[in-house]
Chains A and B, each alone.
Chain A
Amino acid sequence: MKKNYIIGILTVSAVLAVIVFRYFTNKGSGDGASREISYNFQIRPILSDKCLACHGPDANKREAGLRLDIAEEAYKALKEHPRAHALVPGKPELSELFLRISSADTSYRMPPASSNLPSLTPDEIELIRKWIVQGAKYEKHWAFIAPVKSPLPKVNNEKWPKNEIDYFVLNKMEEKGLEPNDEADKARLLRRICFDITGLPPTPAMIDKFISNNSPDAYEQMIDTLLQHPSFGERMAIPWLDAARYADSHGYQDDNYRSQWPWRDWVIHAFNENLPYDKFVTWQLAGDLIPNATKEQVLATGFNRNHKITEEGGVIDEEYRVEYVVDRTNTFGTALLGMTIQCARCHDHKYDPISQKDFYQVSAFFNSIKEVGIESTVGGHETFAKNPRMDITQEDLQGVLNFMNKSDTQGLQVSVMKDLDTARKTYILSRGVYDQHATEVFPGTPAAIMSFADTLPKNRLGLAEWLFDPRNPLTARVFVNRVWQDIFGRGIVKSPGDFGMQGDLPSNPKLLDWLAVDFRENGWNIKRLIKQICMSATYRQSSIVTPEKKKIDPENIYLSHAPRIRINAEMVRDLVLASSGLLNKTIGGPSVKPYQPPGLWELATSGRGLLATYRQDHGASLYRRGLYTFIKRTVPPPSMMIFDASNRDQCEVNRPRTNTPLQALIMMNDPTVLESSKAMADLLIQEKKKPEATVTEAFMRIINRHPQKNETDLLLLYLTEQQIYFNTHPEEVKKITNVGEYKAKTTASPVLAATMQMIQVIYNMDEAITKT
């Protein structure tokens, strides 16, 4: 290459002269006057995706000594060709970067074919050209600049906004030529807030009361009431348990039982108490280090012990101990910082300014735990929690841990955090391998995000302080974004676990920043944040999608209508049980084992341990909310997995949302759904309602609105058809009503069977499992 360089540059220059000329002439005038190109929002994504893998932060993979993510480096004379420069501000025709990306000569063009990276599109090339013309100005990555509240943007339709959120949203809509939808009808709105705040559907009585309440505060009052409901904590816990990779088994080979559920009960409790987010996280990261820590604060640290722990005989202890430290570090990165710092375990990060050293500096905070890689193989209750662990006593249950749901504490232990008296030394591990010690490192954080102040204690408590420092650019944004995602189905940043350079850019950066600062300024108040979102006009829009809107904004990024979102796995189960009246509302306690197709655990087990066979529960335990379903990591509950629940293997902050035939099969054939249909049918028959009233009641219990006439007609017709069918098929009546443990109070009559079938149809409606 070097040899041919001069010849190359000559021929190519000729070609380029033409190309560059074309660019200038095609685009006509107004180059300098045209809109300012944003480095962060327009240029960096291109560089990051197509250039930085070889010309970025990773020193080991850097080609030609060229680095394009830092201005000074990119402006420098090229190492291999001192007369040339990658970037010459104002002069694309002299900028090697521009010449290379736009060259027609494939041997000269960047990125090279061998990189398997796509060439830049003509639009991208043009953007880069304009950016160079405008001075090739670099900016710090948007997510590493602390957020500030900008003034509310001007909007044309001043009547529409109900709170600050709406100004930001409407401003974007107006920019894109979109108008907001009308407000949704009251019943649908009620259903929405019920699911978003409590994870449960409203009852028919609630619906009618809400619809007939014409007071202007009715909506706000309802939100306030729901926020005080204890099911709020359960609903909020689910995404947090995903991020915290909570499960009821140790994972790995034998995957035996673990007793970590008291930590889960604490999470529910903390959300219900509205523990501010800074405390909520600080306790989980460092509750044990708080002076005079309460047992509640220590229990909270179970967060960092939820990772998988091996019980496979013969493993190398240190290999697994390191694995746990790495897991905590990764979880800290993804869940709290929204950064993919795990990429820097084996090498410097390829895209973000996080070096391998940074990774191990962060890991040093989690490296001094009094733990081993393998403490015990499959065994009795002494293996259900691993050291360090905490005993939970009767006294605790009556006192500081009185939110826990368990009367008997016999041998109950939870894995928690506790540091060694003297810190373990932490080293950079070459290629991430547990015994390949390189340089020693000390607790610290990536400087690009925010340096770790000397005044802070060099332990997890200090790390928590760093996290909640008002100058920390990520903490508030990341959490606010996830709450937004839970409610709207998509974060303002679409990649909630990656706010780095390869992550998605915020669709509405000013809104994100305003919300983040507002959240922090108001005491990290989670309930307030949720209320704020639910009160907005943005949230209250109907979810009707017009063809025009679909055309302008197919993914509804700008929220010109409310999103229609399939409810999550736990909510599907909760809807079914709550609507039928079967739901057992008990909060907390050990996880339960509802109906599950036979043989799943048995077929996959090593044969060892408590979880080799699935021992299904009976009675009231069959009807607990979805978040209490037992999660055995290696064989997670299938009805949950099919609806995209997390397998809790690792920290997860973004469940996919799919639409598959297996989901249809669950709604058609899962005994929980069938039994609920039976229970509801039984209930309705006892109420001796007329067929039409029966249909309405069932519809309101499941869909949570009054049916329209064509819906009622269709369901009534089906009910009649089914009744005629079952009148002449008594054997089928017996069979179809023989499902689940629920004992119907009415006899197994054709009416019961027919009503049950009609209810089944409603459960299988798309709207049943969709927030509309």
Chain B
Amino acid sequence: MNKELLEYGLNINRRKFLSRLSIGLGSAALGSLLIPGLFDGTAAEEEAGFIPGIPHFAPKAKRVIYLFQNGAPSQLETFDYKPTLVKMMGQDLPESVRNGQRLTGMTSSQKSFPLVGSYYSFKQYGQSGAWVSEIFPHMAGIVDDLCIVRSLHTEAINHDPALTFFQTGAQQGNRPSMGSWVSYGLGTENKNLPAFCVLLSRGKGNGQGVYSKLWSNGFLDSIHQGVQFSSGENPILYLQDPEGMDRTSRRKMLDKVAALNEMELKEFGDPEIATRIQQYEMAYRMQTAVPEIMDVSKESDDIIKLYGPECLVPGTYAANCLLARKLSENGVRFVQLYHQGWDQHGNLPNEMRGQAKDVDQPSAALITDLKQRGLLDETLVIWGGEFGRTNYCQGKMSVENYGRDHHPRCFSIWMAGGGIKPGMVYGETDEFGYNIVKDPVHIHDFHATILNQLGFDHERLTYRFQGRRYRLTDVSGHVVRDILA
């Protein structure tokens, strides 16, 4: 019996543990020795074709770091170079291109839809010759490690449903987050840390909120919930002991609690009590393990230089990128960052430059850092927002100043590591940057691909809830095989 697995199991609730143990270990007899009566009841709740903790096939990626750019950065100022828009600056979007597609209430009543080209210049970089905007010099420098997908599309046109769609596979509703699915599917690698961690930061640009439902476990066990790490002294809620209580005192106190709980266990025989005892022990271990991870004082000067000086300021995007590497390196399955401030309905040229400055270097540094540690192969890194932006201007337009509305028909993201083809540009949009003309990738396809890299057939990673087997990809989705290494 693998002690770690047993302990991990005890950290979940008992019933789930039984079902997991009974199959996850493949040693049923041993399981029933440990817990008499294991197989007499209705304990097993395993899903068809899926055993929690065991992937369907050998995974390429063991962990994911998702650098979510919240608010939706414009593809036209970052990775989808459209010289036509510069040439046709100010001319109206041809109806043949828009083709009646719906617009948000913010611009649907506009009298005209003047096309607007990128304020920033683009150049080609690397072996792949990918076009990258001037606002991302560091990302341009590692472009051969990236797979830029310019043909993402979604149905949602507003932030809340779009974000929810990206994170949970459905626009509405209390479904589990992608990180929760991964935690459910793969389990934990480090018994002292949660499998799914969430880090928040905010840029200076126009912001949109995030919501804890985005990292909710939905109907999955709450052990799979994203644990939000905050900057400052209390990285995990309620982690820090009160002032005046040192580790020795805490240990003593917990020993008394354990002794009392043991008495109760003896009297009542309820296995939940044993679980409670285990949970207190895990809490105690987390109290040491988490602050150790948060401590960047042992990072070398080279690393600090790589991520930039902001990485020493807790709560910044740079600090979160560095922390993401440390968490991932320590076995956290899914590290989800959210960086707010990308909603440029107006004042785009000015705001995007600031936003880009915050994220460019640390995002690139994360890739470089993982690579030099030999971790990039087994870590899938994703960068991108919830939808794209319109090719026409929202509100007043001048050469120096313009804005862009929400655009779900196409947008760009990049992926790196985890068995994704490096140095690749995938998908193509029309010369107006409005419609996809080649290799569209739907959100469900994107999810299917991520799960594939983690060793899961997205159609078989299911959880039965209220009579239905749910998937991250709902009822569709295809693995985008073209971008697999």
Binding site for B on A (CB under 8 A): 116-118, 252-255, 310, 312-317, 323, 340, 343, 350-351, 374, 495, 497-498, 500-503, 543-547, 550-555, 564, 566, 597, 599-600, 603-607, 633-636, 638-639, 641-642, 644, 647, 649-650, 652, 656-666, 668-670, 674, 708, 710-711, 714-715, 718, 721, 725, 731-739, 753, 757, 760-761, 764-767, 770, 772
Contacts and interface: CB of A to CB of B under 8 A. Distances in A.
Contact of A659 (B157, B172, B279): B279
A737 B242 CA distance: 10
Contact of A662 (B18, B221, B238): B238
Interface in B70-107: 102, 104-107
A597 B273 contact: no
Q: Which 7 A-B pairs have the closest CB atoms?
A: A502-B467, A735-B244, A736-B244, A634-B211, A314-B106, A554-B41, A314-B104
Contacts of A635: 211-212
B159 A547 contact: no
A323 B207 contact: no
| Residue of B222, B223, B261 most packed against chain A (CB within 10 A) | B222
A313 B406 CA distance: 12
Contacts of B112: none
A720 B37 CA distance: 43
A501 B160 CA distance: 33
B253 interface: yes
Contacts of A323: 172
Contacts of B230: 597, 599-600, 603
Contacts of A652: 174
Contact of A668 (B157, B202, B236, B241): B241
Interface in B269-293: 269-270, 272-273, 275-277, 279-280, 282-283, 286-287
B260 A669 contact: no
Interface in B6-59: 11, 13, 15, 18, 36-37, 40-43, 48-49
B460 interface: yes
A604 B13 contact: no
Contacts of B253: 718, 757, 760-761, 764
A262 B36 CA distance: 52
B37 A736 contact: no
Interface of A is mostly: loop
8 contacts: A340-B468, A498-B466, A597-B237, A649-B213, A652-B174, A714-B259, A753-B244, A766-B264
Contacts of A340: 466-468
B209 A711 contact: no
A427 B52 CA distance: 42
Contacts of A546: 269
A116 B460 contact: yes
B466 A502 contact: yes
B268 A315 contact: no
Nearest to B231: A599
A606 B160 contact: no
Contacts of B121: none
B268 A772 contact: yes
Contacts of A554: 18, 37, 40-43
A637 to B, nearest CB: 10
A195 to B, nearest CB: 17
A252 B160 contact: yes
B401 interface: no
Contacts of A661: 11, 279-280, 282-283, 286
Interface string B215-234: 01000011100011011101
Nearest to A717: B256
B483 interface: no
B275 A659 contact: yes
A658 B221 contact: yes
Contacts of A766: 261, 264, 272-273, 276-277
B212 A647 contact: yes
B283 A668 contact: yes
A669 B231 CA distance: 18
B397 interface: no
A253 B213 contact: no
Contacts of A733: 244
Interface residues of B, number: 88
B128 interface: no
B212 A604 contact: yes
B257 interface: yes
B100 to A, nearest CB: 12
Contacts of A656: 221-222
A566 B13 CA distance: 12
B242 A669 contact: yes
B239 A669 contact: yes
Contact of B238 (A310, A600, A666, A710): A666
A649 B159 contact: no
Contacts of A600: 228, 230
A350 B469 CA distance: 12
Contacts of A315: 104-105, 158
Contacts of B244: 731-738, 753
Given A606-B207, A658-B222, A735-B244, 7 more contacts: A503-B466, A546-B269, A564-B268, A664-B283, A665-B236, A760-B253, A764-B280
Contacts of B216: 647
B158 A312 contact: yes
A669 B267 contact: no
Contact of A547 (B36, B172, B462): B36
Contacts of B104: 314-316
Contact of A500 (B11, B208, B467): B467
B372 interface: no
A117 B159 CA distance: 36
Interface in B108-140: none
B297 interface: no
B243 A736 contact: yes
Nearest to A320: B158
A323 B158 CA distance: 14
Contacts of A633: 211, 213
B270 A543 contact: yes
A251 to B, nearest CB: 8
Contact of B209 (A310, A314, A605, A718): A605
B351 interface: no
Contacts of A606: 207-209
A171 B151 CA distance: 63
B189 interface: no
A231 B133 CA distance: 63
Contacts of B223: 658, 660
Contacts of B43: 554-555
Given A659-B279, A661-B283, A765-B260, A566 B272 contact: yes
Contacts of A605: 209
A301 B455 CA distance: 49
Contact of B160 (A310, A343, A711): A310
A351 B466 CA distance: 11
A555 B271 CA distance: 11
Contacts of B276: 659, 664, 766
Contact of B173 (A497, A650, A731): A650
